[in-house]
Every structure is written in C-alpha cells, then in structure tokens.
Structure 1
Amino acid sequence: MPKGSFVGDVAKDLGLDLPALRDRGAFVVDKGRTQYFFLDLQNGHLSIKERVDREEICAAAATCVINFEILVKNPMKLYKGEVQVQDINDNSPSFPERKSVLEISEYTPPGTRFPLEKAQDPDIGVNSLQNYECSETHYFTLDVKNGDDGVKYPELILQRSLDREEQAAHNLTLTATDNGSPMKSGSTTIQIIVLDGNDNAPEFTQSVYKVTVREDMAVGSRVLQVTATDRDEGPNAEVKYSFFKIPEEFDKTFKLDPESGEIEIKEKLNFEEQTFYELHVQARDAGGLSSHSKVLIKVADVNNHIPEIVITSVFSSVPEDTALGTVIAIFNVQDRDSGANGEVRCSIAERLPFRLEKTFDNYYSVVTAEELDREKVSEYNVTVRAADGGSPSLWSSAVLALRVLDVNDNAPVFAEARYSARLPENNAAGALVLTVRAADADWGQNARVRYRLSEGRVRGAPLSSYVSVQAETGALYALRSFDYEEVREVGLWVRAEDGGAPALSSNVSVRLVIVDENDNAPQVLYPPPAPAPGAGWAGVELAPRSAEPGALVAKVVAVDADAGQNAWLSYELAKATEPGLFRVGLHSGEVRTARFPLARDAARQSLVVVVKDHGRPALSATATLTVVLAESVAELLSELGSAAAAPGEPAGSLTRWLVVAVAAVSCLFLAFLLLLLALRLRRWRRSQLLAAGSGALRGVPASHFVGIDGVRAFLHSYSHEVSLTADSRKSQLRLSGGSCCDTLPARAPAEVPGHLIPTGDHVDENGRQVSFQVR
C-alpha cells in the first residue's frame, strides 16, 4: 500500500472525538526504529508513513504483525495496537545461479541421482515455491522430494548410459513455480558435461621456454607461464606442474604454481652472483602420464645498489650562538656499483640553515650557513640525500638530529602591556590584588622569571608598605587596608628578571584603582543639629496657613563623603505631626506643602527627614525640622512664646523680645505684598524704579523686586535671622517664606547683641511708619 493509505480509525476505536484527540496531543510513540504508521489528528485515522515490506519485516514467518503504541496526554494514557501485514505474491522463485555445470562420467550407471540447487521464494503460503519442472530429455528425469522442513528439493535421475563420443554435453532447463495470482516462476540452465576415460598424455605448447628478466625484479613477480594440454576429458585432462631435477638453490629462487604453470621469483636476483638459470618443468595428468619442457631464464644487469651513507661524527647539541661555518657533522657515501652507477651526489634541503661541503673522496661536512635561533626552531632533523648516476637514479637518505642549546638572549615579556586592577576600600590586609605574568622565550634557568617591585612612595610612605609582589608567582598583595577617601589610585612598576647570566629584565606598569565602598553615612548640613536643651530653637521654618500645595517651606541639605552611587542621596519624610501635610523631594530635599493647611492642623509641626545614600547596604542620617503654621506674625510669635513659656523651659524674657522682632518683620512682609499689588496697577512706575536700580541688581528679573522711595527688596527669596540676647542666652529664629534658593546656608553672622538698624520708612498695616533691619 502507498504512503498515506488508511489503516484504521483510531478515534472511533478509542471512543474519542476529534477535538479531544487534538487537544490531548495524541501521537504514535517512536521506538527508535522505522516508524511505519502515524496518527492523523485531522481525521483520527492511523495511516501508513513508510511503505511496508512483509518479507523485510517478518521474513518467512507465517503471520506478520507490527505492534505500535499511541500516547494520549492530559491525562496521559497509553494504548497498544497491532497491524497484521498480509502477504501478496510480489516475489518470483529464483535460483542462486542462472547457470550451473554438472560433470558426469560416461561410465556412470543408470538410476544414479544428482541433487540440484533449490530455488528461493520469500513469499508464504500459495505465493511461495510450489513445484519444479525440467525440460524433456531421453537421458534424465526430474524427481521432486519434500524435506522434513516442508521445503521441496529437486533431484536429477540418470535414465540411460551416457556416451561422450555420441554426445559430450547435455543442456537442461529447470523451472520453479508458485501458485500465486498471478503465478510467478524462475528458471536456471544446467549444463551436463560427459567425462571421458584417460588415454592421452599432456603435451607442452613449447619444448623450450626462454625469457630475460631484470635483476631488480621484485619478489613475487611472474617470470613466465608454461602450458600443457591433455586431449582427454574430465579428471584425466587435469594437469599438474612441477620442477624436475633442478639444483636446490634454483628451487629457492623460483616457485612454480602446480595448477596454472606460472613461475614466480621467491628471492631477490643478483646479476653479480648469477646471470643465467636453466630449469626443467614436468606436466602430469591424473592418470599418471607426464611430459617435460625446458625453461631458460637470463638475468639482465641494472643499477640495483643504492648509495650507503655512513655517519662519521656529529654534534647532536649546538649552541644557538654558534659562529657561521662551524662543522656540526661529517659523513661519507659508498656505492658498490661502478661507473656512472657508482657516482654519488649528496644534498640537503635549502631551507635549513646548513650547507654541505665536500672535503675529499666521498667525505662531506655539514656546516652552519645561518645564525641559529632556539626560540624559533629548537630542533633540526637534517635529511642528507645521496643519489647515484644510474638510469634510473637510485638514492638513499640519512637523518641528522640536531638540538639547539639555549643562550640567554631574550628578556621576560609580560602577558599584557599594562595591568590594572580594582580593589575595594577597607580591604583585608594581605588580600590578593592581581597576578602579573611574564614569559621568557629562553629555556631552563634562562627562562626562570622572578618578580619584584620598583621603588616608589604613596602619601609619603614607601610603596613597599602598601603592596608586595610574590617573587615566584607574580601575585600582588595589599599589605594594608586602603581608604578611598584618602587614596584613590596607586601606580607602580613591577620588574621581571630571568635567571640567566647576565640576567635580563623588563618592567610593566600596574594601576591599582581603589573602589569606593559605602562606609560614610550622609552628613546633614542644614538644618543644623538641635542645640542643647534650653538653648533655644534650631531649624524653625515658617509656613503660612494660606500656603498653596507645592509651596516651598524648607530645604534639607546633606552631603556624603563617598563617591558614585554611594554618594547619591535621597530624602524621605520619616515622621511628621501631620503625615499628609508636607512632602519631601526625593532627590532635592525640598520640603513643600502637600495640601492646604487646615484649621485643625497643629500650629507647630515637627518633621523628621531621613537622608539615605544608594550604597549596599544603604546608610542614612536624620534631620529634624520645626515648621510653624501661622497666618500672621502674631500667631507665629504667640506659638513660639507659648512654646518658650512651657514648664521647664527658661529664658522667657528672651522669647518676648523674639516675638516682638518677628512681629515687626511680618508687618514689613505684609507691606511688601500690598506694594506689589499697587505696582502691578502702575506698570509705568516699575520701569522708572528699575532704571534707578544699582548695577549689582541689574541682571535680576523685575518681577523679583518692589520699590518704595528707592528701596528695593526681594519678594520671592528672603531670609531673616533674629538674634536676641537675654541672660547671656542666645536664641535663633529663622523665617522663610515664598521660595528658597537651592544653595547651602550662608555663614552665620558674628555674635553681636541683637539690635535694629534703620534702613528706610515703611508703613505698616495700621498706618504707622516702621523701618528696621533685623540682623
């Protein structure tokens, strides 16, 4: 059946619908041998994948069954199946040979049986071999017997006596047939040869055989072939050949094949020893009759002696600094031939750094022709070739093994042009930094490399107190713990020196980079640390209750002594009186309002900001800010005053002065706001005010200023510091409003008793003129 033919409906037999069969991924299990069937998931049919040959799979078995397994997944289940292959008559009976020969003596009595070769038919049943038939003849008949194994065996029976003189050969046709549909058959031809009696002696084709051979003919070569014929038939015509009464040494030199009459050489011929051979050959049939012939073999002289090279003296070891023209070997050449066959010419390969010089007679010297370099070639096999003048020329060769001895002519070479390594700070003393490698192309002691450090200093201390190098291995070790904040890079030189005399050396640069580790916590620069209890307030910021979301309240400034990622800082609001009122910029540290302040929010807000770096593990620091929510300066002062008057807090008089000062500043701030509104209505006035400004403020945008009577003040960026002294105690109040510059805080002013400095006339909210600068 052709490929793809239907075999069976697996889906129906297993009771599975096609979607389930596909979803569960059913397939025929591959057993590692020829897979004859496959499962078609489109229709659930088992089909033929490879063409099935019953005779190949099951041979002569009566029943041919192919087993297969189908695996279905989800859930997994294995089904076993079998396919029976039915035989068809696709093979004809056949004989091993299309023609066979049967020899029968003419004296064989009638009734004698002669077994014949049986035919083969790989089919089974009626499709296999069933019968034999033979062509008609008066001398033979065919008999077919059934063996114990059920196989039919044909035999030929002689019916009447044979006469070779009447008919020397009989040709029969044996045919084997089966009973298949259609019937098939096969045949073979049997030739029967009638053998005669022995009544004739063998006769040679020549009475004398002559041949000339070369003395260099190879052993086993054929010299000639003698031939004798016998007019009889059958065994009486079979002739055997042999030497007849020849010298023993001739019998060792030549060999005669008794069946074919071929004469071969058993050992090497030598013209100088034997130039001619005379042999006698006998031919004898099975009946004992024989005849003789003579064989004459002449040996032809050839150039069969190769030159012989005799090494007289050779220096097997040669230093690589050997001078040119130095003799390293002497040899002579001999050839037993004479004349041109004995004239010898010697040569060596031109690519070698040597040359040949003929001294006298057949003596030659091998001398150095080029400088030797052991690092390029450490050993030479110098092949000396000697050829004579014969035709064809014979040659021989000899190999001189020369070893080049090392001289210290190569300095150590480092594996890299320069080395660099990264070492984390705070390393353990004795830590391995890196290993430098240097190779020396020389050999032995000349190639033994030792390492040492060149002199140098690091931060005023000897280099050897920081690092060391292992002399044998080149391993570089750190002798102390490095601090990235002190030493960030160390440059040094390592020297490699070989063990030659004199020693050769080379240097390599090594750059040791100290890698920063997160060993420094962030340091908060602003707000400053809280003072001692009772010393006043630190990090107090003002936020109006009318501040909109996103208004800048304060800025936390911190630095980290580390580098890179370890110095990247982030800010988080860790704790707050009202968690949702303020937020902190992750990377800027700016404290801004997150929503509108509510009336229920406490006037005094305490914020704890955590500053973290990005090291692993991360280190952190905290900053504490006090933010006062005040709609007016009076509320601010009241809040600070109440806080100052709390039990256990001294310096009440100082607080009162502080409240007065803050109230004055707040009034000034409100006046500024009113003036700003007036200026926006009078734009022409602003241009005159800006023109009258000083050159120092000329680059600042006009929107940042307001002017009254020539007084200009910043509105969007301001900072007031109040220092009041009472009872030898100092209190500082820092007020910020609007926005703040992204800079570090300025240095604190000198400690001078707080006083008010008049700067100009301003009108407060009650119409009173107030003019002062709080310092």
Structure 2
Amino acid sequence: MRNFNRMRNGESNLRFSVYCMLLLDLTNTACGFSSPLIRELDGNSENRQLLHHRLKRSWVWNQFFVLEEYTGTDPLYVGKLHSDMDKGDGSIKYILSGDGAGTMFTIDDTTGDIHAIQRLDREERSQYTLRAQALDRRTSRPMEPESEFIIKIQDINDNEPKFLDGPYTASVPEMSPVGTSIIQVSATDADDPTYGSSARVVYSILQGQPYFSVDSKTGIIRTALTNMDREAREYYEVIIQAKDMGGQLGGLAGTTTVNITLSDVNDNPPRFPQKHYQMNVLESSPMNSTVGRVLAMDLDEGVNAEMKYTIIDGDGTDVFDVSTDPTYQVGVITVKRPLNFESKKSYTLKIEGANPHLEVRFLNLGPFRDTTSVHINVEDVDEPPGFESNFYFVEVSEDVDLGTTIQILSARDPDAANNSIRYSIDRNSDPGRYFYVDITTGALMTARPLDREEVSWHNITILAMEMNNPSQIGSVPVMIKVLDVNDNAPIFTKFYETFMCENAKSGQLIQTVSAIDQDDPQEGKHIHYSLAPEAANNPNFTLRDNQDNTAWIFTRRSGFRQAEQSTFFIPILISDNGQPMMSSTSTLTIQVCSCDDDGDIMSCNAESYTLPISLSRGALIAILACIFVLLVLVLLILSMRRHRKQPYTIDEDDNVHENIVRYDDEGGGEEDTEAFDIAAMWNPREAHVGKSRQDMQPEIESLSRYVPQTCMINNNVHSYMLSKLYEADTDVCSPPFDSLQTYMFEGEGSVAQSLSSLQSFSTDSDQSYDYLTDWGPRFKKLAEMYGAKNDNSSL
C-alpha cells in the first residue's frame, strides 16, 4: 500500500501506468478474463522479476464490477480489502467511507470483505467512489495511508426503448409518390450503449400497412402506396415498434402512435349540381341588390376549393353582375343597372365557376371549370310617375305678370296602365306661395309678384301623383332664377350732414357723397349725380360727378355767415344707367359753423340763440329758480285736472275709441280685419294738395310740388285674388270648405263724412282725442295691405 501511494505521489508515469494496468488485469483475471499484458510479462524473465517486484502492494483488489438489479436475499459480495501488515490476528481494523458507504456498501472491519446491501441500478448511478483506511485496532493509529477506489455497476438489459416525443402527428399531400418521406420517429433506451446490445434499437411497423413503411434503423416513415386519395380517406393511425437487442428474441420493445393526415391538393374540378337556375327579380330592385345565388361544388378544400364566378354569355351581361362570396364560395348575382318591366321582361345568363389555383400535374384530369345557365324573370311593380327631365332650370324676369306660365312640366306613368297624372307643388319648398302649377297640364305659373332684390332664387319641388293610386308620387326639382329689371332708383348710402366753416373759400371741397342701387345690371352699376333742376343755378354750392359712382360738393363762393343762414339743403338728383333709367332726389344738409383760425369748429348754433356773455351768475340762478317754480305750478294744475276728470274715464280694457268708426258692415271692429273692404273708405274724387316743406329756405322752395293723389283699386290686387281663387279651386290637397269673401266698392263718398277735425281742437272740451293719433298709422297699415299708394294725407 505504501508502494502504491509512492507511485501515485512521485514515481515515473510508466511504472504507475504499469501498476494501474496490472491492477486492472488482475481484476479482469479474477472475473475470468486473460490480460495480454500479464501474458507478455510472464514470457519474459526480466519482466517477470519486475512484475513480482511491482506486485508487492498494500491493497489486494478482488473485484471492480458488480451487476445491477441483484434480487437475492443475501448481501452481494463486491470484493475484499487486505493490508500486508495484517497478520490475521484481528489487530487491523478496516474502515470504508465515501459514496454509499454504510448505506449501499458495508465492510467487514476484520476481514475487509465488501458487500452491497441495496439493489443497484446503473441507470440511476453507474459508479461509486469509495475510500479505504487500515487502523490499529488498539491505538486507532493509521497503519496505511487512506486510498481511493471505484466500484462500477455493470449493465443488464432491464430497460425497454421509449418514444419520448410520441405520439406523433404528421401530414403528407394526397397522391404523393411511393417513398415520400413523412416523419422520423426516435426511441431511446436507457441501458448502456457501450456494453452489449442492450441499447441497440430496431424499428418496425405494427399497424399502417400497406399504406406506409418505416426504416428499421433511422425510424423514417414513408408512403408505401401511390394514389392515396384524401376524398376517399383522410386520416391514418400508424403504430411503430422499437425493439432492443438488435431485434433478437428476448429483447425489450416499446411502441408509439403516428397520426398521419393526407393534405388536400387540387385534383377535383368544380361541378354545378344544377345546369339550369330560375330566378325572379322586381323591376324596382335598387342597384347592387341580390337576385340569387349559384354554387359549384368542389370536393377539394381550402384554397383548392376557392371559386371564381364569371358571366361569360347571355343577354344580361350589362344588366347583372356576379361576385364570389369568400365565406361560402357561392356566386352572388346582383343588379348592375335599373330594370324596367315594360322594356324587357326576362334575361338569360351563362355563368362559369372555375378554380383560380391549379395543380399542373393534375391538368390531365380535365378542365377545372364548369358552366350553368340562369334565367331571370323581371316582375312588374306599380312605379311612381316620372318626369321627362331629372331637373328643370327656369329664368324669369322679376316684372313678369301674375299668372304667366314660365314652364310646362310633363310626367307620365311608366306602368302599362298609364294612369292619369295630377300635379302640385310641395309647399315646404315654396313657403312664400310665389308659384302654382296647373293640376292637369303641369303649367308652372307665377302667383305673387317676384322681387329679385328680395329673393333671387326659388328652388321648388313639383309633385306628380297617379289618380288611381295616390301613394305613387314622383317629384322633380325646379330651379327658378329671377332676372333683374331696373326697378329701383339709387339712393344715398347714408344720411349726409356736413359742417362748413364760415370762412370757407370758393371752390373748397366740403363733402363726398355716394349712392347704392339694389338692382344688378349686367353691364355694371354706373350712378350719375347732378343738382336737382330746382337747385341747378344754386349760387352757393356746385357738384362734380367723379364718374366712379361718387360725387364731390364744392362751394361756389366764400364768406358764409352763420347769422344770415345756418343751414343749407342741397337736393341732389341721383340716376342709374338702366333701361328704363331710374332716379331719385336726396338732400344734403350743410351746417354753417364758426371756426377758429386753425379751421377747428367752435359752434354751429345761430348767434341769436346764444346767451349774453355779460349775464352774471346770480342772474342765471334767478332765472333757473323761476323756471323751477313755473314747472311746479304746471304739475299741480295738471294733477288737479286729472282728479277732476277721473270719474269720467274708463279702463283701458274697455276703451272703445278705436270703434268710433262707423261703416255699413256690422263686423267685429278692428280685430275683424276681414269683415270690411278698406277700399270702401277711400274717396276716389278727393285730391289732396301737398304742403310746402317747412325746412327749406325761400331760395329752394320751388322743390315742393303739388302732387295729386287718387285712390283706386289696384288691378294687381284683383288679379292676385283671381289667381288665388283658381289655385284654391284646383288644389286637391286643400280642404273642401275653403271660401273667399269679396266686398265690392261702396260708392263715391262716405256717409260718415270726416271722423274728426284736427283744426277744431278745443282745450275747453273734456273729450280726449288721443285716439286720432292712434288711428292714423292703423289705417295706413291696412291701406298698405290692400295695395294703396296714398300717403298719410289720403287717410
């Protein structure tokens, strides 16, 4: 043992290797094997002497290997430890330590015999490393240095092959040739592959023949038959066996399942189950609405069963369309253009269904397409009337007479019955009731005067209704453009009032004026300015037309005095360039003001109204006190007078002053505005003479004119009433109880004479005449409602 340790700690590698080999060979010899190294050493005397010299060692190794899975009842003998210092008297005590010492292996401390006390499994642990030590039993002193040795577990065939990845799933295209590789399976044997044939595996097929085969060495599964059709059988369950010991008798075996699916290829052409389809569609069906569906059956699946439908022939190729539903692979026939039962009652289509994805190797099976015919019947429906045009555009002058026909609208029933048509206007499109349409002829006429400046465009909707079926109503938009006529005179853009210094020089510009014209002539607006004929020779001011729709006002002299005349009124004639020419007269007001040397205005009031500069503060206070006393007295007098008259007054709710007018019709007074004709209160023989303007200076008083005013019933009002009466008679949507009351002209004169005389006003009377100021505007408003042209004097 000492020699062995010395060789381990420092002797030559050769000698150490020899001892190691000798130990291994001795072990093999003990197990029944012969070592060539021992035979070689035994044939040489020198080697034999060296061997005898080297074989002197401290430990004797009886056995290095022990079989696994020992099932006996006695402990399994492993080997023996012995020291050359052991005299056999029991003075040496052997101790074992390391892996499994005391649990897996035990040692007889006297003899050195080692036994295995547990079942050994090489697959769990293939070797154990132990340490041995010899001690003096009495003193426990080590007799030999501690050494290490290994016990290896020898394998037996106690594990069957196992498929760790099973069961397997694989697929192969249908119609694959023989020998097509599908999948490789692999089995693992836990036994020692370096010892015997315990781990040598051979594969075989137990189930799946004659469709598939397996390579015995590699475990690759291949097809064994050709023309395997997925449509005939799609799934296969194959059982593969793996057997060790090279497949010999007595070997252990394991199995696994391989689920093989045949994947689809496009080897089946589509086929229509019907060669003829019959379908119906309403002529009122909207665009893109579905007519019906066709289906071409394909035994394939996935992309191989995808279909594309096409209309390849027929008389409805431009009326119908077909598309493919990607979910169900059906052909959907839809309406491409509007249908008309009266023009064509049926159509025939030839539809083709084809596979877009083809397998080149299967083209010999025939064309991968099929056709079918579809007969479509158009069903008649009651359709609303239709106009000749989709819309109408009309231009009409704003001065057109009432009742003028501006457009003839024509609609007809598209059905075979050709029912009569009645026309009307959608009142929501013409809230102002400017137009009406003849119920039978469709003539569109004016019902109210048109004013381009008020409404330049009218967008109305004309309705056409079948007499026999009022629910069938057609409509058409009519766009009416009101053309301009020159019916508005230009006027100042604003009220002009200018201020001029007394020291203004001759030819000085004092004001620029401009005007607007509501008309819109095609040649553009050109406004001309000039002094009115009455002021053409005005010595104070002159006017220059700038030819750009503006005019300048200049002074014609210098040296104006506010004390002589503080205000000037200059009438200006404004005219346009229309046909006929329209003109108006507007007045420019000029105030003469006193200015300082810099031209800044100081005062524009006449000097006669200014207070004396020398008036003292005390005098001003006295004047104000007197004014206050006078105001108090006036208020007291008015209060006393009010208390005296209060018993004779009546509540405002009972005020009957507005009913003082007496006329022959016994209506309800002011609230019953339709109970009398205001024209009966006009006196056609009475002429009123205009009064001269009080705000003009004597130099331009000639601007005032006596304008005779005569009240007459306007012919336009009469025409309008007749047109409204005609519209009420022909409007089928109006209630049948409508009526129109017409009051004739009462005659020439009023039996009531004058209602009152403003000139006979007396402060002594207790009667209140406040109602006179109220009735004036009321009569004027009523007169304007009935087309009267009079001013306030005619009332």
TM range (shorter): 0.3 to 0.5
Bigger helix share: 2
Give the TM-score, by structure 2 length.
0.35
Bigger strand share: 1
Give the TM-score, by structure 1 length.
0.36
